A and B are shown apart, each in its own frame.
Chain A
Amino acid sequence: MSSLLDKARLMMNIHCLGRNLVTASSSLHCVQLPAQKEAHFWYVLPDEIKDTNLLNQYFEILSPSEKESVFRMTGELLKKRAILARALVRTTLARYQINCQIDPKALKFKKNRYGKPEVDLQYTEDWKLPQLRFNISHTSSLIACGVTVGSPIGIDVEEKQRRLKNDVLAFARRYFSPDEIEMLTKIADPELRRLELIKLWTLKEAYVKAVGKGFSNLPFNTFTFQFGNRLKTGIHLRPHVMSKAHEITVEPPDDSKNISGNWQFVLLELYGSHYAAICIEQESTNRGKGSIPVNLMLRKTIPFVEDECIFGTDKAVVIGGLTTLLEC
């Protein structure tokens, strides 16, 4: 902990000294853009970040309206979470800019017609900015940002321990599709049932967020998640509980509102304590030829301090969806 403090202080000192010469992003490690069919997943663990100097540094890169939003949050923990979420988005996106020359503070955001936040690339003519797409999700213990180039992306993270205030089946009956309710009802163990519900919830959230048209344009009970075993082509087992051998598909693949797309899903378990669902759109030319795995690169970060590539470790395990985890 003290080394983190020292590191952060060092960073602060460097900034103070070289403020005119050096942009904030120079202490951000730059990374290569995600390739096509590739998604990057960055996350922060709020409990690891305690240094108020560092939090101030994050606060400083926020826009005025983001700062206002932070002030509106009730309580220190929520304020901290809000700061970290916005700082994660800005610092993450800044890393992909050519030669890291964009100051995270300079990034501008806009909302699509339905209110989904997107990067606003129009503010500058000089830079050739990549068409970065992103989506964030946060729980009290993990804040994540997913990034792609070109493909719409939606992510959702939930704590496995999350208790619903309502009965699991009552909740499913209210919000999920008939097939999903049936699937959940067949799970005898209540704890297992609750976990499957949370998995389904994260997948549904990630999907709706990827589509980006809002909850009411794609009500949760109008689509069903199915898990198929791709080893037995053409035969979908309809298991009750998802496993990593399973391909995750959504039915119907498109609907009357013209949400057509080849949506692919990944479900991860992080630190044994969180589920994370990622949804991206693959090219439609792949449809019918069998699914191509989603290439996924995971990184844990403390912006301006350190990044860790999460690969070949049980900190992150794929538990559903065809995925190839990439080394950074």
Chain B
Amino acid sequence: MAANALTGASISMRPLLSQLNQTPACSLISGSSSVLASSFGKRNVSFSLRSRSIRLTVSCAAKQETVDKVCAIVKKQLALPDDSTVNGESKFSALGADSLDTVEIVMGLEEEFGISVEEDSAQSITTVQEAADLIEEIIQKKC
């Protein structure tokens, strides 16, 4: 099994997390000396890194970070206290968002992430997680 040096190889990595990522498309275990990437058509390719620090430019936002940002925007729009429970599963309507809140949230997300959301996509977002997933999808297309 050839051990390819990471330098010179441009690999666009999906979210690099220090904890396990739930996305089936990408499972990374870092922090150890080998990195296993199962996406991008390369299956079970392992790179062994010997006491070398990796520097990867991750241009796509980490999933949890995206969710957290969406939560912050939602809390701000709905004027919820900082300690209120808003997470990925939170439904906008259950938090008290009406349609005007929802379009303002979409505007806030567009501004925060520098993206443009189509009307039919905007209509399909009902939870924080769905918003985060949509944002990642849009960003990914820009990557």
Chain A residue at minimal CB-CB distance from B105: A165
Least distance between A259 CB and chain B CB atoms (Å): 15
Stretch touching chain B among A14-22, A214-222, A234-242, A282-290: A214-222
Asked, given contacts A139-B98, A165-B77, whether A215 binds B122 with beta carbons under 8 Å apart, the answer is yes
Which of B76, B84, B95, B104 contacts A171 (CB under 8 A)?
Answer: B104
Least distance between A238 CB and chain B CB atoms (Å): 26
Cα separation A170 to B111 with both chains bound (whole Å): 11
B15 in the interface (beta carbon within 8 A): no
B29 in the interface (beta carbon within 8 A): no
A214, B123: Cβ atoms closer than 8 Å: yes
A78, B98: Cβ atoms closer than 8 Å: no
A165, B94: Cβ atoms closer than 8 Å: no
Residues of B within 8 A of A162 (CB): 100
A201, B100: Cβ atoms closer than 8 Å: yes
Residues of B within 8 A of A164 (CB): 100, 104
The number of A-B residue pairs with CB atoms under 8 Å apart is 49
B83 in the interface (beta carbon within 8 A): no
Residues of A within 8 A of B85 (CB): 74
Interface string of A45-77 (1 = CB under 8 A from B): 000000000000000000000000000111101
B60 in the interface (beta carbon within 8 A): no
Asked, given contacts A72-B94, A74-B94, whether A216 binds B76 with beta carbons under 8 Å apart, the answer is no
Residues of A within 8 A of B122 (CB): 215-216
Least distance between B81 CB and chain A CB atoms (Å): 11
Asked, given contacts A72-B91, A74-B85, A165-B77, whether A215 binds B104 with beta carbons under 8 Å apart, the answer is no
B99 in the interface (beta carbon within 8 A): yes
Binding site for B on A (CB under 8 A): 72-75, 77-78, 81, 138-140, 158, 162, 164-166, 170-171, 174-175, 201, 205, 214-216, 219
**Besides A72-B91, A78-B95, A78-B96, 19 new A-B residue pairs in contact (Cβ under 8 A), listed by A number:** A73-B94, A74-B94, A74-B96, A78-B94, A81-B96, A140-B96, A162-B100, A164-B100, A165-B77, A165-B104, A166-B107, A166-B108, A170-B107, A201-B100, A215-B99, A215-B122, A216-B118, A216-B119, A216-B120
Nearest 7 Cβ contacts at the A-B interface: A216-B120, A216-B119, A216-B123, A219-B119, A215-B123, A72-B94, A78-B96
